[in-house]
Structure 1
Amino acid sequence: MNFTALDYSFLAIVLMVLLGITVYSRRYVRGVTDFLAADRLAGRYLLTVAGGFYGTVGLVANWEMIYATGLPPQWWGMMNLPIGLFLALTGFIVYRFRQTRALTLAQFFEERYSRRFRCYAGILCWASGILNFGVFPFVTGNLIVFFLGLPPEFVFLGVTLKTFWVTMFCYLAFATYIACAGGQITIMITDFLQGAMLMLIFAVLVIYLLGIYSWEEIVSGLMLGGADGESSMINPFAGSSNKDFDIWYFLIGLFGAIYNTRSWQGNSGYNAAARTPHEAVVAGVIGNWRMIVSTICIILIPLAAFAVLHLPEYAATAEPIRNAIDNLGDPVLKTQMTVPLFLKYTLPSGLLGLFAAVIFGCAISCDDTYVHAWGSIFIQDVVLPIRKRPFKTPGNHLLALRLSIVGVALFGFIFSILFPMKGYIFMFFALTGAIYLGGAGAVIIGGLYWKRGTTAAAWCALSVGTAIGFGGICIQQAWPALLGSLMRSWPDWEILQSFPEEFPVNGQWIYFYAMIASTVCYIAVSLLGPRRVFNLDRLLHRGQYVVAADQVGGAGGNRQDVRGDKERFSLKRFLGITSEFTRFERFIFYGTFAWLMGWWLVFVAGVAVNFIQPLSDRFWSGFWYVYILLSVGLGILCTIWIFAGGLRDALQLFRDLRTSRNDCRDDGFVRQNEESAE
């Protein structure tokens, strides 16, 4: 299907609205706190809608995985539900980090450990982050080219240029302008508009896909994916159709979800932007409802693509798609662009333009957040600690932040041109993330929850995690050359002969080994070294250090830790519901608990029943159909509710910013650092 004037008009309207909102919002930036965290005035719905959507690279990565594996990953992902529920309802890490009032994670590291450790952690976090971000423009630029049907190359002034270079530059320039214009304020408002648009468009696409492709046809196509008899794209117990995304991938992800809660700083501005710690917790709970329709749409699209490209009755429809895929040449691009090209050739006019708006919306909303985050982290957590003094004026500080943001965007542009992308996107994310995430979780959890954790332990844990993560990425990239040297030295070593193309340990396992090693190091060094007791009340602004603006519900409203009191157990107590919570908030918490635990009990029952009597593919076909219909029905209702709340919060943010008074000293520089943990 070719783009029409109607389709292009959707794109033009979206970009014009985003540009107008950016120009309007920038007037509210009067200080560093505004630029970094919207002066900590964001409401729960605004945080939920704006801060948690997939970027374009996330969409492509999920489509790539689901097209290769089918539905089983969705089943094994259910084992994580109790963990996600625990993290959301209890506010694990989220509540305490907001209590610190730190603008970045590494600022908390300085307050908890030392300034030198802040600088060290900031460098590692920034390096890991920009490497991770480096492939975003590559994936997005190519997606725009192939989805819009642009020529792969063109001649300009006698020079042949790749079209995806231009698309990368243009969309990155737009995202960078949003980030530089008003920082977290413009990012949050424009991302809210894009997030709201995406929720509505995803709902429309789900209805369209279920109307055009019957569930029986989709299942018939998936059956062909498991035709070898040793795997299935429907039955999760029949074996994975892709070795990289087996059950261990999700078990490691389960452990990492707890270990690295709020460790990744790609959206650091949102982590600090909540109006109160309580507001941050409620936003996390509401996030479970926001993504229902979007998740189902992201699942359905590659399933429909697989059916169309494999069923004989769709041979005529599949032919131009297959031809377009074959013309790509690069095997990595073929896997990444299969699903987008399916959409390009099957969506009707109108929906084609709406989905193009989704692509641009996801690209801009993700990348403006990332360039803002990594640019800010470089200044706040590398430059400031090295300077050992704040900037002379807020204007100088803001200029440095903006220049750093532009630098991150330029790095992403150049890296995407030069770096040869290999393997699955999620595996690249696991490898680059392991450089920092391998050790960060132990340092964060120990710093917020254990007063015995020491600075020496933090140094050791983060260093060990980085060594394992960085070593893994180097070995993976150099494996073909390294294998040749090893084979010459040990020609009869059978294990080397078994892995002629890829390093035998994938990115997810490297990530797991890094987490375990760093945790052991943190605990051991803290216990074996000099005994130190850190004042957590001062760090978390509790007791005599309380900050009135962070309280909800008056005196006693602040969530306190349960420290050995003898209050009788109750569900309310277990979920962390305190006097901060209104009746409606309690309803949301209980509803979230019932919905997620209900599906987890279904997972447990399915595992138990299948152990006794294996379930047939026919059963699994019916199960997935019911799962999708229930999710779609509830998800559409939640989309309307959350959109209305987000609009209210966005308007309230502007009202609050008009009357807020910035403290020029609240700029992320720790002026009275007590090295009590040394």
Structure 2
Amino acid sequence: MNLSFYDWLIVSAALLFIVFVARYTTRYVQSVSDFLAASRSAGKYLLCISQGAASVGAITVVGMFEMYYQAGFTGSWWTMITSPLLLLITVSGWVTYRFRETRAYTVAELFERRYSRGVRIFAGMLGWFSGILNFGIFPAVGARFLIHFCGLPTEIPYLPIDTFPLIMLILLSVGLLFVFTGGQVTIMVTDFVQGLFTNIVLIIMAGFFFYRFNWDIVFDTLKDAPVDSSMINPFKTEKIKDFNPSFFIITAVSLFYVRNAWQGAQGYAASAKNAHEAKLGSMLGEWRGLILTLLLMILPVGAYVVMHNTAFSSIAEPARAALSNISDDTIRRQLTVPVVLSKLFPRGIMGLFVSVMLMACISTYSTYLHSWGSIFIQDIIMPFRREPFSKKQHMILLKFSVLFVAVFVFLFSLLFSQKEYILMFLSITASIFVGGAGSLMIGGLYWKRGTSAGAYSALVIGLVISIGSMVLRQMWVPQIYPWLDSSAPALLANLKFVIEGVAARIPGANWVVGPDEFPINSQWIFFFTILSAIAGYVLVSLIDGIVFKRPAYNLEKLLHRGDYAVKDDHARGVTKPAVGIRALLPSSEFSFSDKLIYYFKLSWCAVWFTVFIAGVIINLSTDVAIESWMTFWKIHVTVIVTVGIGTTIWFCVGGIKDLGHLFSTLKELKRDESDTGFVSRSAKQ
């Protein structure tokens, strides 16, 4: 076992404290609205920290470890391409602001209000299926991490019980406890505490990294990476198959397209006390994750140095021995960084890191269980009813639904054999829904000509391409390629000519038709799904409007603006927020401190995008020395650590104030028992 008594003491104390916090919140949960969205009472800092903790589970950490172990520092460079897009998204409140204005609890509820009840049911089924499939590998990845990092035995001593399913069962049970205790109120408060704890621990771990690794040793190790697979110079990464520039460019496009469409943390999308707070919580999001993003990059870089530099052979050899006991190639690749870190970290740091990962598992599991369990009742069962559920019926059904999701993902993790990168699996399973739903969200909130027929088209296109590609990927190695090779060699040759010919004309495609894996990875398939769904939505909606004379939709009513405004749903009494280019500027809803946040965000994105553009121009005009790149990464890391420490203190103070406001609001709030997400036929246009 890798953890000492003191490490286990740290882990136990952290777990007991978070359970105590969960139990404390039960007194504030009195209605369905509390359970679903904390009665829309959360401030920007609370949203920012809690949602950040919920979105970073153990599976995200392990997935990012996989990516940066292959890409090194170069992966961080290409994420800068998203700076102007992220700026546009956050300062405008893209989708986030308008979704909160609709007062919908779920995405599919919005689709009923905007399109039709049938669209809500179909989207609800599709989103729920996509969600639990995506969620399906979370327990397996989290359990494997804890087993191999902690050095736990594969079986419980003296008992015929496998450790793997037992760990999954324990983690899911704690997640269930949090959801059953108080729904979104408990989830948000515990996520907040976990988020603060995690950021403090990550700062300590950053200090350990700089103490343990000399920058010159890191440079000497990374510079020996293969030609065109550089881990330092992002302009020499053409041969990196999956995590090359194209991966990050597609990610940037998807950030814009799927905004709020993915429902893994659906409770947070509806929890803001008004639309302005939702917008600012989103704006603060990038700084919240600075230290986390840094650690997700430098820890796998450190693991790579350990495994490729003889100065660390005393650590590398035990790590290789541990990895050699893992027979499955995919799982061994996933666990490479965790296993190396388990041999690298000293006592104390081990306990802190396990506590962080344990909290990451619990926060994500509770959030996802709550989201997918709620969505099944809200968007699949409830739309068939003519009358809403009673409060007691509604709460019981929500909890049973959450329990079913837990049982499903437990069995899925136990039986499913994963064969590709975690991030790729998450991308393709999410695209089953968001591949089409992104069009419905954007079109529904910003385009009055979008129709139900267009909505169905986009959802079907997303479903067909995503499911079809998943089947092809699973069958390619064992069945499709062997059959083509033996029975249809001419067809295989033509397929190879077309696919590899197209790839040669698309930078970063790197599609190779071979026996080992499907030639096109999940990220590219997701991109094709997005383009196809947009085309289907727009074309069918236009035909529906022009040919069948469908009237334009009343967006003012959907967004509760002007004559339809709801009290307190906007800051400072605003009833008609700015639109167009004015939506990018501070409005009358902004306080003085809000404006400071706005200009800080503007400056931050402008600086890094300027650095990116300058880097592109310089590297296209001259061959930049690798030493210069390493100097840049040293400066980059130093800036991130400095700003990250400052924002951690800033958000801690703001978050504690918001937490106090949440408790006082819920204590005094007069609940509207009819506010359950039920849409009567008379409520729709």
SS in 2 for 1:245: coil
Alpha-carbon distance between aligned partners in 2 of 1:389 and 1:521, rounded to the nearest angstrom: 34
Does 1:410 pair with 2:407? yes
> Aligned residue for 2:599?
590
Shift of 1:484: 2.7
In structure 1, what is the equivalent of residue 260 of structure 2? 262
**C-alpha displacement at 1:675, in angstroms?**
5.8
> Structure 2: any 5+ residue segments left out of the alignment?
497-512
The residue that corresponds to 1:193 in the other structure is 193
Cα drift, residue 558 of structure 1: 4.9
Structure-2 separation of matches of 1:640 and 1:319 = 40
* Structure 2 match to 1:616: 625
Secondary structure of 2:153's counterpart equals: coil
CA distance in 1, matches of 2:158, 2:469: 41
Please list, as runs of the form range in 1=range in 2, the aligned pairs for 1:643-654 lying within 5 A after superposition. Answer: 643-654=652-663
Q: Determine the C-alpha separation between the residues in 2 that align with 1:135 and 1:203.
A: 29
CA–CA distance in 1 between the matches of 2:585 and 2:419?
A: 44
**Cα drift, residue 469 of structure 1:** 1.0
Q: Secondary structure at the match of 2:143?
A: helix
Runs of 4+ with deviation above 6 angstroms: none
Contact 2:228 2:240 in 1 (8 A): no
- Measure, in 2, the Cα distance between the counterparts of 1:388 and 1:79: 49
Q: Note the alpha carbon deviations across 1:361-398, whole angstroms, 9 max, x for none.
A: 1010111000100000001001111334321x211101
| 1:51–1:267 Cα contact (<8 Å) kept | yes
1:669 — aligned with what?
Answer: 678
Q: What pairs with 1:551-570 in structure 2 (closer than 5 Å)? A: 551-554=570-573, 556=574, 558-562=576-580
How many Å separate the matches in 1 of 2:386 and 2:610? 53
Map 1:165-176; keep pairs closer than 5 Å.
Answer: 165-176=165-176
SS of 2:489's partner is: coil
Alignment partner, residue 434 of structure 1: 431
Alpha-carbon separation, structure 2, partners of 1:577 and 1:558: 14
- What residue number does 1:351 align with? 349
Q: Provide the rounded CA distance (Å) in 1 between the counterparts of 2:279 and 2:473.
A: 38
TM-score by length of 2: 0.94
What one-letter code is carried by the residue in structure 2 that aligns with 1:521? G
In structure 2, distance between residues paired with 1:405 and 1:77: 35
Taking the aligned partners of 1:674 and 1:197, their CA distance within structure 2 comes to 44
Within the alignment, does 1:13 sit opposite 2:10 as a pair? no
Displacement of 1:241: 5.1
What SS is found at the alignment partner of 1:11? helix
Amino acid at match of 1:332: T
Indicate the SS of the match to 2:433.
Answer: helix
- 2:560 is aligned to 541
> Which is worse superposed, 647-656 or 99-108?
647-656
Contact 1:123 1:378 in 2 (8 A): yes
Instruction: Give, in angstroms, the shift of residue 29 of structure 1.
Output: 1.2
Aligned to 1:566: none
1:94-493 matches, cutoff 5 A? 94-154=96-156, 159=160, 161-224=161-224, 226=225, 228-240=226-238, 242-391=240-389, 393-480=390-477, 481-492=479-490, 493=492
Whichever residue aligns with residue 612 of structure 1, its letter is S
**TM-score, normalised to structure 1's length?**
0.95
Q: How far apart, CA to CA, are the structure 2 residues paired with 1:551 and 1:248?
A: 39
Q: Describe the shift of the 1:588–1:370 C-alpha distance in structure 2 as closer, same or farther (beyond 3 A).
A: same
Q: Which residue type is aligned with residue 386 of structure 1? A: F
Partner of residue 525, structure 1: 540
* Aligned-partner Cα distance in 1 for 2:67–2:362: 23
Q: Residue 133 and residue 495 in structure 1: after superposition, are their counterparts in 2 closer, same or farther (change >3 A)? A: farther
Secondary structure in 2 matching 1:549: coil
In 1, distance between residues paired with 2:482 and 2:229?
33
1:240: Cα distance to partner? 4.2
Amino acid corresponding to residue 667 of structure 2 in structure 1: R
C-alpha separation in 1, matches of 2:630 and 2:587 = 42
Q: Does the CA-based 8 Å contact 1:557-1:579 persist in structure 2? A: no
Between the aligned partners of 1:189 and 1:495, the Cα distance in structure 2 is: 57
- Per-residue Cα deviation, 1:65-120 (whole angstroms, up to 9, x for no partner): 10011111111111111111111111000000000000111110000011111000
| Distance in 1 separating the partners of 2:481 and 2:79 | 35
- Mapped partners of 1:99, 1:629: distance in 2: 40
Partner of 2:503: none
Deviation at 1:495, TM superposition (A): 5.5
The answer to whether the 8 Å contact 2:3/2:351 transfers is: yes
Letter in 2 for 1:658: K
How many Å separate the matches in 2 of 1:248 and 1:386?
A: 43
Confirm whether residue 84 of structure 1 aligns to residue 86 of structure 2. Answer: yes
Q: Does the aligned pair in 2 maintain the 1:233–1:240 contact within 8 Å?
A: no
Q: Is the 8 A contact 1:111 1:673 kept in 2?
A: no
Which amino acid counterpart does residue 523 of structure 2 have in structure 1? Q
User: What is the distance in 2 between the residues matched to 1:496 and 1:305?
Assistant: 39
1:162 is displaced (CA, Å) by: 2.5
Q: Which residues of structure 1 form unaligned runs of 5+?
A: 563-568
Report the CA distance shift for 1:619/1:275 in structure 2 as closer, same or farther (over 3 A). Answer: same
- Contact persistence 2:238–2:244 (CA under 8 A): yes
How far 1:574 sits from its partner (Å)? Answer: 6.3
How far apart are 1:673 and its partner, in Å? 4.6
8 Å contact from structure 1 (residues 252, 512) kept in 2: yes
**Which letter maps to 2:178?**
I
1:419-440 residue CA offsets vs partner (Å, 9 max, x unmatched) = 0011100110111011111111
1:71 aligns with 2:88: no
* Separation of aligned partners in 1, 2:47 and 2:201: 20
Question: 2 CA distance for matches of 1:420 and 1:484?
Answer: 20
Structure 1 residue matching 2:301: 3-state secondary structure = helix
- 1:672 positional shift: 3.5
> Deviations for 1:437-487, whole angstroms, at most 9, x for unmatched residues?
111111111100011111111111111111111111111111121223333
C-alpha contact 2:482 2:515 (8 A) present in aligned 1: no
- Secondary structure, counterpart of 2:229 in structure 1: coil
Q: 1:399 to 1:461 in 2, by over 3 A?
A: same
Using a 3 Å threshold, how does the CA distance of structure 1 residues 579 and 557 change in structure 2: closer, same or farther?
farther
Secondary structure (helix, strand or coil) at the match of 2:440 reads helix
How far, CA to CA, are the matches of 1:38 and 1:217 in structure 2?
A: 50
Match of 1:46 in 2: 46
Report if aligned partners of 1:43, 1:649 keep a CA contact under 8 Å in 2.
Answer: yes
Q: What letter is aligned with 1:396?
A: Q
Q: Identity of counterpart residues, as a percentage?
A: 39
Q: Distance in 1 between matches of 2:308 and 2:674?
A: 62
Deviation track 1:527-568 (CA, whole Å, cap 9, x = no partner) reads 1122321111111001111001212113x4652324xxxxxx
Pick one of 555, 562, 584 that aligns with 1:575.
584
Say yes or no: does 1:601 pair with 2:610: yes
2: distance between equivalents of 1:172 and 1:674?
Answer: 38
* 1:621-667 Cα distance to aligned partner (Å, 9 max, x none): 00000000011011101101101111111121111101111111110
- 1:219 deviates by 1.7
